[in-house]
Each structure stands twice: as C-alpha cells, then as structure tokens.
C-alpha cells in the first residue's frame, strides 16, 4: 500500500518543478532567498518536498536542517531526505523563512533542546515561520503559540488549544509571521501563502 503514494507525489513534484525556461531564467524571488526546512526522522514526504520544490522553482535556496546531519526516512513512504546542517550549527540570521513539515518528526525533534531554542528564536525574530499538520508541535514546545490564530492536523487541536491557540479549521491561517495549514490537501495554499509572505516582506 505504501508504494501507491509514489505516483501522485512524483506527479505533484513534476508540476511544481517543471516550468518554462523563461521562468527559470527570471525567477520571481530575485534575491536568492534562504529558506530552512526543519525536520527529522519520520517526516511526511509531501509536506517536506512540496514546499521544497515550490520555493526552489521560485529561485529560493533551501537548506534542510535537523537535530543532526544525515539521511532520514519518511514515515508514510520509502522517501528519504538529507539533513544538510545540524540545527546547532546554523543561525537565525542565515535564513529568511523557516518551514516545519508534519508527520511523526515534530514529536521527535521537539525533544531536542537545540531544535526548540532555534524555533523559538526564529519565531521571535519576526521572520516567516510556516508549519503544517503536526509541525506546530515544535512551536508549542517553544512556547510561542499562546494567543495565536492557527490551524493544524485535527488530531492535535486539543494540544493547540491547551497551548492558547485560537484554532481555525481552514486550509491556511496567517497570523503576523506565522503561517499554518492542516494536511497535504492544503499544500498548494500553504506554499502560496509562504510565497506571498516572502514577496511582501523579503529579507526581514
């Protein structure tokens, strides 16, 4: 059953990455924005790779960061992703936006103090932070969600509300520098919201 996911996933990746030559030569994000994807073992493949492909297609440079350098596996397929830099070795100043994919990874990496500290510092910098599905769990542990309008996978709604979140059952919710979405069907809206935020407020 796991293999069945590959056809639509690869197709979606193709849609995001295949574009006319003039778009590649003159990307909308001209200044080579730097975007970090923070994840770990048990990530959700689509929630990591779709923003990766979408923003790369706009000309942004993506760096995958996590608790430690190495290859990690998705929980929902045989896909893997390479963590290029350990979170302890990067700075908030290195990036213009932070993305937190869902899956099982957020529950694991939220146990790593350096991950939580980085997420907190990034959020407090005012730069865009985008979290989908279980991704907001890292921000809950970081203690930055109280009073925020946000959404997530319905299974963590109670946890979100206990952390002080004003929960909305919508495809994408934006509250200042925070962007949240629910599940993979919301990925297009999620990616578009990240793009809009970066284009409106580049290089904070």
Residues in the chain: 204
Query: Left if phi > 0, otherwise alpha if psi is -120 to 50, otherwise beta: which for 153?
Result: beta
Catalytic (active site) residue 44 = no
Is the separation of the CB atoms in 37 and 101 below 8 Å?
A: yes
Closest of 86, 178, 193 to residue 139, by C-alpha: 178
Report helix, strand and coil shares of the chain as percent, to nearest 5. Answer: 45, 20, 35
Tell me which residue has tokens 């919301």.
186
Residues in CB range of 104: below 8 A, 6 or more apart = 41, 42, 43, 75, 134
Count of other CB atoms within 10 angstroms of residue 37:
26
Write down the catalytic residue from 44, 134, 168, 203.
134
The set of catalytic residues is: 134
């Amino acid at each position: 059953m796991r293999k069945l996911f590959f056809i639509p996933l690869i197709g979606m990746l193709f849609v995001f990455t295949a574009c006319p030559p003039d778009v590649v030569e003159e990307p909308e994000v001209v200044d080579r924005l730097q975007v970090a994807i923070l994840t770990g073992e048990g990530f959700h493949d689509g929630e990591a790779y779709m923003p990766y492909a979408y923003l790369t297609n706009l000309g942004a440079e993506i760096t995958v960061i996590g608790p430690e350098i190495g290859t990690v596996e998705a929980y929902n397929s045989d896909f893997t992703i390479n963590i290029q830099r350990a979170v302890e070795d990067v700075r908030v100043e290195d990036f213009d936006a932070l993305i937190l994919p869902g899956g099982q990874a957020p529950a694991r990496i939220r146990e790593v103090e350096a991950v939580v500290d980085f997420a907190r510092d990034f959020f407090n910098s005012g730069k865009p932070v985008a979290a989908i599905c279980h991704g907001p769990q890292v921000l809950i542990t970081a203690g930055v969600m109280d009073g925020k309008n946000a959404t997530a996978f319905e299974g963590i709604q109670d946890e979100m509300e206990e952390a002080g979140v004003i929960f909305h059952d919508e495809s994408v919710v934006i509250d200042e520098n925070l962007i949240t979405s629910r599940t993979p069907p919301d990925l297009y809206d999620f990616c578009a919201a990240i793009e809009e935020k970066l284009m409106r407020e580049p290089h904070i």
